Amino acid sequence: MRGTIVLGGVAVLAVVTGIGAGAVVLIQRDHAADAAAYTTVSCNASLGPTTTGATGSGAADAANLKPDQLATVTTIIAIGKQRELPPRAWQIAIQAGMTESGLRPLNYGDRDSLGIFQMRPSMGWGTPAEVTDPEYAVNKFYDVLLEVPNWDTQRPGDSAQDVERSAFPDRYHEWEAMATHLIGDLGQVVNASGCGPDMGRALPPATKVAGAAIQFALGQQGKPYQWGALTTHQNSFDCSSLMLQAYRDAGVSLPRTSREQWRAGAHLPVAKSQPGDLLFWARDTSDPATIHHVAMYLGDGKMVEAQQNGVPVHIRNIEWTEGGLMDYAVRPGV
């Protein structure tokens, strides 16, 4: 990480190193140049949730935060604004802090890891007193982030991982929706993506890949449902094996289960789904861990699915208000 401290708006020397390991390199940060370079962020479709305020956007998780955690979020946002960094940077820091410490300046951790981001003094991050000071820690995190190649054009959790170097890189995605809700609520940012009105989840149009996946899925109509169906044949399907094989036939790899497929592409509001996008159902729509079904949208209010025992692969109508439907769809391959 980089150890820049901001004192009266002046950048001090920064230390660059990985949290877990790496040589120490001294650099000089220019915060004015940082701000000029990052006045906007990419609308890349693979960035994941970037809108705020909608049902299922993380409001429930945010509501569970305690005052000390909210104080940390406020510090992250305030310093981000002071440094004129875009909301994407705040989002990444919130996701990292929630994952590493629950957004608390802990005085303990793995080995000598300390503070909001579990920085290690032994690796050149600063003294124990410094890395447990929220202002110091947040500035250091931002300095490291700005040295990550393409930090603002990849999914926020991936950028958090590039800073933190965790052995569990997928953990940061869990807090994506909550972070975007917080920067909209506490940060008072209407359009957190920086991509323009109603462009927070800007996505390219449906691709040839989606067309090929649809063609495969439609070709399986009438075949029986089988829970846990093999993905090495086309004799029968369950919901996620149909999606996996359809996209595999189109050249896109998807994980096996519906819950895993939820994280296998770009998210967009479900009502804006395009042909080929994946739709998901859950027992609790605020908790992706409860997802139990996935289907493929065909357009014109119709979808194809392998639904349940006794019901063959079929096309049916979809209502955007039906129970259990997740608020966001997934577009694989982008």
Bridge partners (DSSP) of residue 267 are 330
Report, as an integer, the average pLDDT of 147-172: 89
pLDDT (average), residues 261-273:
87
Helix (H), strand (E) counts: the chain:
11, 10
pLDDT of residue 12: 32
Asked whether residue 78 carries a pLDDT value surpassing 50, the answer given is yes
Q: Is the pLDDT of residue 8 over 50?
A: no
Region 172-177: what's the mean pLDDT? 84
- Burial of 77-90, coded b for 16+ CB within 10 Å and e otherwise, reads bebbeebebbbbbb
CATH 1.10.10 is held by the domain 6-185 = no
Q: What is the pLDDT of residue 205?
A: 47
pLDDT, the chain, mean = 80
Q: What is the pLDDT of residue 190?
A: 58
pLDDT higher than 80, residue 223 = yes
In terms of pTM, does the model score above 0.85?
no
Span 145-168, mean pLDDT?
90
Of 126, 49, 148, 29, which Cα lies nearest the Cα of 95? 49
Confidence (pLDDT) at 176? 82
Q: Which amino acid is present at 124?
A: G
Structure tokens at 225: 């449902």
Angle at 322 between CA 318 and CA 323, to 5 degrees: 140
Q: In the numeric block, which tokens belong to residue 84?
A: 């004129």
On the question of pLDDT at 22 being above 70, the answer is: no
Secondary element (H or E) of residue 34: helix 31-37
Is residue 38 scored above 90 in pLDDT? no
Q: How far is CA 208 from CA 7, 38, 121, in A?
A: 52, 33, 50
pLDDT in tens, 289-312: 899 999 999 988 999 999 999 999
According to CATH, the topology of domain 208-332 is endopeptidase fold (from Nostoc punctiforme) (3.90.1720)
Choose among 144, 168, 203: nearest CA to 25. Answer: 144
Is residue 180 within 8 Å of 308, Cβ to Cβ?
A: no
- Cβ neighbors of 312 (< 8 A, separation 6 or more) are 221, 222, 223, 224, 225, 306
Residue 61's pLDDT is: 86
pLDDT tens-digit series, residues 228-261: 999 999 999 999 999 999 999 998 889 999 999 9
Q: What is the mean pLDDT of residues 146-168?
A: 90
Query: CA torsion angle for 236, 238, 244, 249 (degrees, to 10)?
Result: 20
Closest CA to 201 of 288, 327, 75: 327
The CATH 1.10.530 portion of the chain extends over: 6-185
Residues of each domain in the chain carrying CATH 3.90.1720.10: 208-332
Give the residue-averaged pLDDT of 112-132.
95
pLDDT per residue as tens digits for the range 56-71: 457 778 889 999 999 9
